[in-house]
Homo-oligomer: A and B are copies of this chain.
Amino acid sequence: MTGSPVALDAHGIDGGPELAVEGARLAAADGIGVRLFGPESLAPACAEADGVELEPVEEWIGNDADPVAAVRSAPGSSIVRAAAEVAEGRASALVSAGSTGATMTAALFALKRIKGVHRPALAAQVPLPAPDGASSALRPGAAGGAGSLLFLDVGANTEVRPQHLIQFAFLGSAFSRAVLGVERPRVALLSVGEEQKKGTPEVAEAHAALAAQDSIVFIGNLEGRDLLTGAADVLVTDGFTGNVALKTLEGTARAVAGAVRDAARSGPLAAAGGLMLRPALGGLRRQLDPNSVGGAVLLGLRGVAVVAHGSSTPEGIANAARLADRAVAERAIERTAESLRASGATREGLRDDPAPTGSR
């Protein structure tokens, strides 16, 4: 835990801002102070929660708004206020369960990029089903870090050049080591086959460059079917493919789980069987729950920013705050910057430097 509080945007959670107070209370119980940017109506609940302060903000940016235009035109919105709190040193890290695009944009504008970073990337932690039925959900601080995949970019950059993919590999490796406790993270590129030349020209070029360096452990290409096998600790792709793959994974897990539930309603025998299997399946549901990992992290900024799942539960919010707090305590930003500098994979090697595209 760190001294200064986490700035939490309470607007934009699917279940309503009250869930943010509940989540903040859980985090505060672990000694993580939370400064909450949300509606005045939360004041009574916040007053009762030790370690939770409310900054009343009525204005917020929804999912439908254009992120860049909205962030520029709404300096008084909850996400912009929360990001400024971090930039100005009054909070240690930014946490939001609101619009991903607005969070990324506000964080980028307020916190700026690490020197040499061309494009920040959004890195999701994908919980892996444990082969032995034990919970493998990654907790910040879990020793070894086995049981989750750090998957990036999942939506910050819809188009990338090879140099961006290479940077994502270094950013992901540094975060995995610094915050997730993986000593030698195995880094892979997502493609359509194992061979170096498979995939887009960008992927093939990034593959060749990563294979030629030895600062991080590059294990080659993986395919979509390998996401949940634990074959890599860090998996790198562009923000369009990553977003589609992550949502495909979530949608498929939900559909199969739903079909299993339906099967357990298809007759009396099946229903009895389902009932007897339920305790064991509950563990699986918890494992695959995105709330178990606390959210996605924006990598490459000079500050910590965590995007919680839009459908977060209080536990999900609390886990996002815990992850943010741990990133601060572990000096994730400084260590990432050092690692990038040592690798030489900074934007000095890039030909041109247009503005980041943000989430589209």
Query: Residues on A close to B: CB < 8 A?
Result: 64, 128-133, 155, 158-159, 190-193, 195, 197-201, 204, 223-229, 237, 239-241, 243-260, 262-267, 269-270, 272-281, 283-284, 287-288, 359-360
- Can you give 22 contacting A-B residue pairs, CB < 8 Å? A129-B255, A133-B266, A155-B192, A192-B243, A224-B245, A224-B251, A227-B248, A228-B251, A229-B251, A229-B255, A244-B245, A252-B256, A259-B284, A259-B288, A260-B260, A260-B281, A269-B276, A270-B276, A272-B273, A273-B274, A276-B276, A277-B277
A284 to B261, CA, bound (A): 11
**With known contacts A240-B241, A248-B248, A274-B273, A262–B224 Cβ distance under 8 A:** no
State the number of copies, please.
2
Are A244 and B129 interface neighbours, CB within 8 A? no
A64 to B198, CA, bound (A): 11
The residues of B that contact A159 with a CB separation of less than 8 Å are 200-201
The residues of B that contact A360 with a CB separation of less than 8 Å are 192-193, 197-199, 204
Are A257 and B255 interface neighbours, CB within 8 A? no
Partner pick for A192 among B158, B193, B269, CB 8 A cutoff: B158
CB of A104, distance to nearest CB on chain B (Å)? 13
A226 to B131, CA, bound (A): 27
CB of A358, distance to nearest CB on chain B (Å)? 11
Partner pick for A200 among B131, B224, B240, B359, CB 8 A cutoff: B240
Partner pick for A280 among B201, B239, B252, B270, CB 8 A cutoff: B270
Are B274 and A277 interface neighbours, CB within 8 A? yes
CB of A134, distance to nearest CB on chain B (Å)? 9
- Residue on B nearest A275 in the bound complex, by CB: B273
Are B252 and A248 interface neighbours, CB within 8 A? yes
The residues of B that contact A253 with a CB separation of less than 8 Å are 252, 256
CB of A195, distance to nearest CB on chain B (Å)? 8
